[in-house]
Structure 1
Amino acid sequence: MNTKTINTKQHILEVGYHLVSKKGFTGMGLSELLKAAGIPKGSFYHYFQSKEQFGETLLRRYFDQYLARVELLFQSSEGNHYQNLMRFWQYWVENNRYLCDSGQCLVVKLASEVSDLSESMRQVLTTGTRQAVHLIAVCIEQGKQAGDIQVNDSQAMAEHLYEYWLGACLMNKIHQDDQSLERALVRTERLLQGTRPL
């Protein structure tokens, strides 16, 4: 695959990402994507067999970038495992207006929409979210072994926290305020410290 091919495909995905994050997957028409990207229909079908395959590729690209950032954060030498985990959740709170409200978090934006629409896209979401939970679980377990984190079951805690934060982000979209995420941050601190949550 030559540089021009890679650049064109990435351009389509980047333009599509911004449209999908604003309008949803079904809300973004193919003609709208072609116009915004400045490409003919033939160019789109050169890279993607269908809109659904485009959606799969878009989600895989999103998770690849997201997971790489999370892994880098968790491997940071700036703090212990507990501090790195809390930095991750704090980032979620501080950037919720950008990530959640604007639709930049494709998990929150597309989960209910595409899970009923496309089995292949649902599978990408399933794989991506499981990988995210795995990274959290590994960091919790490392913190547990180092004495930074006080939990019994690292995997169960990672699943609970990820699900809890996704729910908090959805409530944030509904209420248009930060209260649900602020409560999630306090609850997370207490859970990781082995303190009974409020």
Structure 2
Amino acid sequence: MPVTQGDTRRSILDTAQRIMSRKGFAAVGINEVLSQAGVPKGSFYHYFNSKDAFGEAMMRSYFADYLADMDRILDEPDTTPAQRLMNYWQSWRESQSVDECQGKCLAVKLGAEVSDLSESMRIALKEGTTAIVDRLERVIAAGLEDGSLPVDGDARTTAQALYDLWLGASVMAKIHRDIGALDTAATVTRRLLHV
């Protein structure tokens, strides 16, 4: 089966996500990404207009995949909203505790770095993280409705607070190279959700 332009573009984006989740955005050159993706160096601008456009495309691709995985967890049949939400946090803990707590979340790894470097990447991060909070809010609202999540407060505020908690805990886990902050986030989450 011949490789298509879309396959090559996707390969570049996937390779960049893997490298940048370890090194960051500014520390990675385009040539490193292209070399590891097996794509000729001169073809970068065939797929992206600039490094900024490439970074934005990478963030959008990352969030599309992340949100699809999140939907799979949060839409699991035959479980209560409370169970689905706690399964999501467990999945987060597992993904952020790999590689000596270096994690796999590009929002954690690149959020502060690129928000000051690229407006288009900042907007992609903002839209992606907002979509995450939207999904959390939806599940919390369903849990309030069926009684499985008797939270104090409204669904949106709770969703935003939980996301902020876990994002901060992930940063602290990276700094300390220890999952203690993630375990604390899980404990606080259970208390906040009364589960």
Same fold (TM over 0.5): yes
Q: How many residues align?
A: 193
Equivalence map 1:56-71=2 (5 Å): 56-71=56-71
Which segments of 5 or more consecutive residues in structure 1 lack a partner in the other structure? none
Specify whether residues 100 and 56 from structure 1 end up closer, same or farther in structure 2 by C-alpha distance, changes over 3 A only: farther
Letter of the 2:158 partner, please give it.
Answer: M
Deviation for aligned residue 1:23: 1.4
Deviation for aligned residue 1:39: 2.3
* Corresponding residue for residue 150 of structure 2: 150
TM-score, normalization: structure 2? 0.93
What is the percent sequence identity of the aligned residues? 42
8 Å Cα contact 2:140/2:149 also seen in 1: yes
Query: Matched residues in 1 for 2:99 and 2:49: separation?
Result: 29
8 Å Cα contact 1:24/1:109 also seen in 2: yes
8 Å Cα contact 1:100/1:169 also seen in 2: no
Equivalence map 1:13-162=2 (5 Å): 13-98=13-98, 101-151=101-151, 152-162=153-163
Query: Matched residues in 1 for 2:22 and 2:170: separation?
Result: 16
Q: CA RMSD in A?
A: 1.7
TM-score, normalization: structure 1? 0.92
Letter of the 2:185 partner, please give it.
Answer: A
Which segments of 5 or more consecutive residues in structure 2 lack a partner in the other structure? none
Query: Matched residues in 2 for 1:18 and 1:49: separation?
Result: 21
Specify whether residues 40 and 95 from structure 1 end up closer, same or farther in structure 2 by C-alpha distance, changes over 3 A only: closer
SS of alignment partner, residue 84 of structure 2: helix
